[in-house]
Every structure is written in structure tokens, then in C-alpha cells.
Amino acid sequence: MIAPFDKKSTDYIIVAVSVVPILAQVLLSGIGATALCANWIASGLFAWMIWNIIEVNHLGIFKRNHAFPISWALISMVLNFALINFNEYKDGTLAAERWYDIDKFQWYYLIQMLGLLLIIMTMMQTWQNKIATLPLIFCGLITGTVSTLLNYSLFWLLFFPIILYQLRSLRKQNPGSILTGVVLAIWLCYVGRFFLFGIDNADQHFLSYTKILDHLIPDYIDYTRWEWVFIGYIAILIIIYSIAGLTNNVANSVKAYSSIIMLSILSFIITIIAIIDISHLENYLGIIAILLSFQVSIHQSYINSAKNEWWTIAIIAGLAILSIVSLFSFIF
């Protein structure tokens, strides 16, 4: 059986395939290309970061590391599907039609994803580091900064003990460094708002943290058939790869094995939270897409099999088909 990734052209074809749904989404849904292209470009940046993390930390085999095109296609299609189908305003206007408004929330989600990748990139450098004060303060600063835009991101604090444990860096000083960074970021935001907009604005923003659990209160769910199919497709993939990461040792080092376990556990936790809070699914799809991209890319790299490579191609093709087929609900 021919292994598709043996040909260099396969990488370019995968990236080209990720553009096809965007063309269909613009033509069939009537939604402007600005927001869709912004997601696609940002996905390219995220894909490069995923490739770099895998490469630098030896989470895959160099000659078979195709994380860049795989992640670019996967993340961009998930983000644009979510943008079109799950981001609606209360007045019924699709977010992508009001690009001057969606920039606020769309960019918030993109910044959140960038923050997660920066945290993973930084945390990987703390492997077996008993005292990693500065890197962990930096991770805390990122978490705190992202939480000033999307306050539920503060729940990321629950993930750090898992990450530190798997990276063998769980010492009593290290969680304190993370908390220091979080408090510092929130305080700097408060001071900035105080001087720019006044004390009322600063207090109001700070008090928004008291409503952090509101995101877990379910709203009315009115997803279409194809939206449920898409949700099921992503959920099945993330569960399959998480189980595979926890049960199959495909890594060639202790650090790689621990990192795969860490990504699998985080994937499970995020998926469970997303299922519980499924009425706010748009809050989690970007994060799930990143974690799924890591796992698909790592397994593709380690498992040298034509069947596995065709399976990876099928995953991307399935996302492209779902992205296009679901658009017919806009016509009929």
C-alpha cells in the first residue's frame, strides 16, 4: 500500500484542502471571507507552533513529522465550522456577518488558543525542573491575561498540577509561581483600566470574576443535525486518540511518553467539560482542536504505517466534507 506522506506534495495538498471549505462557506452561506480567512491564517501560526513543540521536545520522529499541514487543516476547519454554526448573537445575526463585532469574541478565542500553546511550549521546558520560577510565572501571566478576556480561562489553574506532575516538576514552590503570575496579570489589567477608563470600569471588570461559574449554566440547545454530527465526529476522534495515548506507548523517550499522557488527560478533561457545558460549545472547540492536532500529529509521526497515514488523510477529508455538507442548511 502506498504511504501518502512519502510524497512531499501531500503536505501541500492537505493545506490546499483546508482552503476548499472556506471557498464553499463564502459562496454558499453568504458570509464574508474576512473572519474565515483570519481563522485560516491564525491556524497556520498555531500549526507552526505545534510542529515546533513536537520537534523541539522530540515528541515525534523528525523525518515523519507532518504536524504543520495536518494541524493547519484540522484547526482551520474546526474554527470556521464553529464560527459559522455556533457563534450566534441573541438577535439571530450570525457573528461572521458582523465582522466589526465578531472581532471581539473571535480574537478573544484566538488569543486564548495562542495562550494555551505558549503555556504548553513553556511548560515543556520545565521537565524535571524542581525550581522553574520564571517560566511558571510567565505561564501564570498568560493565564491571568487570557482570563481578563475570557474569565472562565481561570479554570486552567486546575490543569497545572496535572502538567507539573507529568513533567515531574511538581514541587511546592512551582504552583506558587503560577499563582503569582496570575495575580500579577489581573492586577496589571485592573490598574490599566483604572487609569484609562476610571475606577467604575475597573471595578466592574474585576467583579466579572464573580460570575465565572455562569458559563456552566446550560442554555437552550438548538443545534441542527449536521452540527450534532460534527460534534460527534470531533468527540469520537478526541476520545479515540486520548485512549490510544493513555494505553499505547508509542514514544521513544520517557519525556515524550509523559507528554503524550499529559495531552491525553487534558483532552479528556476538556472534552468532559465541553459535554457538560455543551450549550457553550464555542468556548471549547478551539482548545479541543489544538489538543486533537497534537495527538493526531504525534501518532502519525510515530506509527510508520500506510494505513495510519491514510487514516490521518481520512480524518481531514471527513472534516472538509462535513464543513461543506452542513452549508446546505443555509440554502434549503
250, 303 Cβ separation under 8 angstroms: yes
Give the whole-angstrom CA distance, residue 84 versus residue 105. 13
Single-letter residue type at 47: A
Q: Residue 196 above 60 pLDDT?
A: yes
Three cell numbers, residue 29: 452561506
Please report which confidence band the pLDDT of residue 118 belongs to, taking 50, 70 and 90 as the band edges. very high
* Pairwise pLDDT comparison (113 vs 300), residue with the higher score: 113
Give the whole-angstrom CA distance, residue 119 versus residue 123. 6
Specify the pLDDT at position 97.
Answer: 47
For the entire predicted model, the pTM comes to 0.89
* Pairwise pLDDT comparison (253 vs 314), residue with the higher score: 314
Which of 58-72, 90-104, 285-299 reaches the highest mean pLDDT? 285-299
Cα 129 to the center of its chain, rounded Å? 26
31, 84 Cβ separation under 8 angstroms: yes
Q: What is the mean pLDDT of residues 275-301?
A: 86
Give the least confident one: 2-6, 58-62, 131-135, 297-301. Answer: 2-6
DSSP 181-233: HHHHHHHHHHHHHHHHH-HHHHHHHHHGGGGGGGGGS-------HHHHHHHHH
Specify the pLDDT at position 274.
Answer: 83
Report long-range pairs for 204-209 (Cβ below 8 Å, ≥24 apart). Answer: 205/148, 208/151, 209/147, 209/151, 209/154
- Strand-pairing partners, residue 94, are 88
Please report which confidence band the pLDDT of residue 151 belongs to, taking 50, 70 and 90 as the band edges. confident
- Which residue reads 465582522 in cell numbers? 99
202, 210 Cβ separation under 8 angstroms: no
- Tallying the residues shown for the chain, one arrives at 332
